Amino acid sequence: MSVDELPEPRPGWWVYSGTGVPAGGPEKPLPPPPPWREFDGGPLLDDVLVPPEDAEMKRRLGAASTESVPRADVHEVDMVNAAIYLRRPLLVTGRPGSGKSSLAFRIARELGLGRVLQWPITSHTTLKTGTYGYDAIGRAQAAGSRSAAAGTGTAEVAEPPIGEFVRLGELGTAFLPRRRPRVLLIDELDKSEADLPNDLLSLFEDGEFEIPELVRMARRTPVVEVFTADPDATAEIVAGRVRCHAFPIVVITSNGERDFPPAFLRRCLRYETKDPDVDQLAAMVAAHMLDPSDDHRSRIIGEFVSRSEAFGGLPVDKLLEAVYLATSGAYRENDTSWTRLVDALWRQLNSLVP
């Protein structure tokens, strides 16, 4: 059996099968966590409040259809299921454009876990920016406006609710207590400052974090409603602490531009992506409603594979762009203008190459 072939029958312990297609019918049950990875956060939020799959899901994966299912790597499926069972983050490495971040969307779609929470990492990203933000200046300005509107009377003016100025980030929203986990994509962690991977360790181990501004006022206001990273959504925070109930399914991507601390790696499961083959590329094209069965489209896919091997890897979206142009009428067999266009689209992604 090749590394790309899924065994038949599929192992009974698998929850995720790698198709990225919703099972349909009742929700797929998830396995219980190991005793040392159980969390008791609450009160549980209503899962109905989880936004359904959004336009970003379709943009990443295309249409959900059994006719356009890429053949998954059995090792990938094993590692995803192991991460789900063990409640551990999955660190996915590989070259840029190899489909690392798409894995989070396939998991969310197949398991029916709703909108993926995306936390893109830059050199300025910190643990705090991922967990929550507090607009102290905005609250002070709002309080000043209330006082001015009240005039010079002696009546005391109530401060605006602090929750109106607190917003959970994507990381913080993922750890809200729910019956079923959210899928969190931490994208390109290797772009972060050196301290961020170590800063994440406590959150990954304890499954909780505090919002100091709410902790300080917990005695007089134990429950505060704040905004979350989901569109138009709020959540109640008790005693200034966010603690998960179902540990989120965390997919962390890295382009391999730096090494991570051993303590961080010890708390993650690791998987390295492989370049998709012709059949997998054809399925991806079909998922985006670009039928690859036509002879010239099949030739484009074959040529893409050849050039990708020669260049040491090309992003899959470059194939989709070329096939889309072909389906729009730009393709003419033996047309030199088409050859020039493909050369420009598939040029090696290296600024030093002319």
26: which residues sit within 8 A by CB, 6+ positions away? none
| H helices present in 23-99, as ranges | 55-61, 74-86
What pLDDT was estimated at residue 152? 52
For 232-262, the pLDDT digits (tens) are 899 999 999 999 999 999 999 998 888 899 9
167 within 8 A of 227, measured Cβ to Cβ? yes
Task: Give the Cα separation of 84 and 18 in Å (integer).
Answer: 13
Cα–Cα–Cα angle for 188, 189, 195, rounded to 5 degrees: 155
Stretch (H or E) spanning 234? strand 234-238
Is the CB of residue 71 less than 8 Å from the CB of residue 21?
Answer: no
Sign of the dihedral defined by the CA atoms of residues 164, 138, 196, 210, in that order: negative
Q: What are phi and psi of 110, to 5 degrees?
A: -65, -40
Q: What is the pLDDT of residues 293-311, one digit of tens each?
A: 566 667 777 777 777 776 6
SS3 content of the chain, % helix, strand, coil (to 5): 40, 15, 45
Query: Which strand (E) or helix (H) includes residue 280?
Result: helix 278-287
How many residues belong to the chain?
354
Nearest to 279 by CA among 138, 108, 65, 73: 73
Contact 277, 209 (CB under 8 A): no
Mapping DSSP to helix (H, G, I), strand (E, B) and coil, where does residue 252 land? strand
pLDDT at 146: 73
For the chain, list residues with pLDDT below 50.
Answer: 1-3, 154, 350-354
Q: What is the pTM of this model?
A: 0.83
